[in-house]
């Protein structure tokens, strides 16, 4: 508090009150300017389907949203908005999905020889009127004069009544000889892997496709409805001499009612088979549980996995019960047990707190 000086003798009471009021206001202003912001004053990053990349000393997040939402950070805790990849939408979007609403789904980003490839999904919710496209840039820094996303168009497309798979949720992984493969898929006939050509923008010829994860569905069950085949969001992470396939099971995007959770398998070859700890093929319903929700975080999933400065991280979103099921960014330490299976401490869900600064 500011010390209050006595008014000179003879001042009228009204003037004295006015002086006291001014002093009080100055005190409040001074306190507001000098007091540190309380912990938690900045909201956590609310994000769906996050993937991450680093250029120089800056980390970038790409996520589902209008035009693909982008954030950047120096420390993976404090984040700033960094615009979007598309000012409007891809020119071809509505020709693939007439019900497309402007939200580009589930991106993935990878760097190749100083060029960044950003893959993304166009779809209508619950349908396989979908396509995966790719846009490229020479930098991730929006302040650089070289910053410009250039759309390369459709990589693959799924068509109802023709394809029993859904062209969303792309992830790019490199095989032993540097060949690029794209994992993708949601519900329907499971998760797929397709070999890309040297441009990384089209399937290789002759085409090579593999089913890497699926689950049996009872006869006559609509393929887009909830049920045993609730799996999506593949991410393949190369480590320890294996390719680890992370998948999201359950239902996303339902706030407190979300049942999202992660499972994993691994293979010696990028094309599989991906087996769980019991030796069951993920293409036959296998998958070792990795991390699931709890009362505070009822659902979590759609992850990426990364190595930075010798440490491995799992990046995902989780729905917070205390915030009406709002999705939040989580970056968790990824460890390995004696048999080289991934381990994640669920206590990190409570300890990791991002901050959105602007």
Residue 7 resides in a domain = no
Catalytic residue among 108, 169, 232, 320: 232
**Residue 99 known to be catalytic:** no
Contact 332, 344 (CB under 8 A): yes
The parts of the chain modelled with pLDDT lower than 50 are 1-38, 224, 226
Q: Which residues contact 345 (CB under 8 A, 6 or more apart)?
A: 332, 333, 335
Residue 150 has what pLDDT?
Answer: 98
- How far, in Å, CA of 17 to CA of 14, rounded? 5
Residue 39 has what pLDDT?
Answer: 52
Q: Which of 297, 300, 303, 290 is nearest to 336 (CA)?
A: 290
CATH code of the domain in which 105 resides: 2.115.10.20
Residue 292 resides in a domain = yes
**Residue 49 known to be catalytic:** yes
Residue 116 has what pLDDT?
Answer: 98
Residue 221 has what pLDDT?
Answer: 57
Residue 53 has what pLDDT?
Answer: 98
- Within 10 Å of residue 110's Cβ, how many Cβ atoms? 18
- What distances in angstroms separate CA 218 from CA 31, 37, 131, 223, 261, one per listed residue? 65, 55, 27, 10, 22
Residue 161 resides in a domain = yes
Residue 220 has what pLDDT?
Answer: 53
Residue 320 belongs to domain spanning: 49-356
Digit-coded pLDDT (tens) for 191-228? 999 999 999 999 999 999 999 999 876 655 555 454 55
Contact 352, 274 (CB under 8 A): no
Pairing of strands 78-84, 355-356: parallel
Residue 40 resides in a domain = no
The count of structural domains within the chain is 1
Contact 128, 165 (CB under 8 A): yes
Residue 208 resides in a domain = yes
Residue 4 resides in a domain = no
Residue 42 resides in a domain = no
């Amino acid at each position: 508090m500011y010390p209050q000086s006595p008014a000179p003798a003879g001042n009228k009471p009204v003037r004295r009150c006015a002086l006291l009021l001014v002093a009080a206001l100055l005190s409040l202003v001074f306190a507001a300017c000098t007091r540190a912001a309380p912990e938690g004053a900045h909201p956590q990053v609310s994000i769906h389907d996050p993937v991450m990349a680093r250029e120089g000393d800056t980390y970038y997040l790409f996520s589902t949203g209008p035009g693909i939402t982008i954030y950047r950070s120096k420390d993976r805790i404090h984040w700033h908005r960094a615009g979007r990849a598309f000012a409007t939408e891809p020119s071809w979007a509505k020709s693939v999905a007439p019900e497309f609403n402007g939200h580009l789904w589930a991106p993935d980003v990878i760097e190749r020889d100083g060029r960044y490839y950003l893959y993304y999904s166009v779809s209508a919710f619950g349908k396989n009127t979908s396509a995966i496209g790719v846009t490229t840039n020479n930098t991730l820094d929006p302040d650089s004069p070289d910053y410009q996303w250039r759309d390369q168009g459709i990589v693959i497309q799924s068509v109802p009544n023709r394809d029993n798979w859904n062209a969303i949720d792309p992830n790019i992984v490199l095989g032993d000889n540097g060949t690029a493969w794209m994992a993708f898929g949601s519900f329907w006939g499971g998760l797929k892997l397709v070999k890309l050509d040297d441009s990384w923008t089209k399937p290789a010829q002759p085409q090579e496709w593999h089913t890497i994860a699926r689950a049996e569905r009872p006869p006559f069950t609509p393929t887009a409805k909830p049920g045993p085949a609730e799996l999506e969001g593949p991410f393949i992470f190369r480590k320890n001499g294996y390719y680890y396939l992370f998948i999201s099971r359950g239902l996303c995007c339902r706030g407190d009612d979300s049942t999202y959770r992660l499972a994993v398998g691994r293979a010696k070859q990028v094309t599989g088979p991906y087996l769980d700890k019991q030796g069951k093929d993920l293409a036959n319903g296998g998958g070792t549980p990795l991390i699931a929700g709890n009362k505070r975080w009822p659902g979590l999933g759609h992850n990426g996995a990364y190595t930075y400065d010798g440490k491995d991280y799992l990046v995902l979103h989780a729905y917070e019960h205390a915030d009406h099921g709002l999705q939040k960014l989580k970056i968790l330490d990824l460890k390995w047990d004696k048999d080289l299976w991934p381990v994640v401490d669920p206590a990190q869900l409570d300890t990791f707190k991002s901050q959105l600064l602007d």
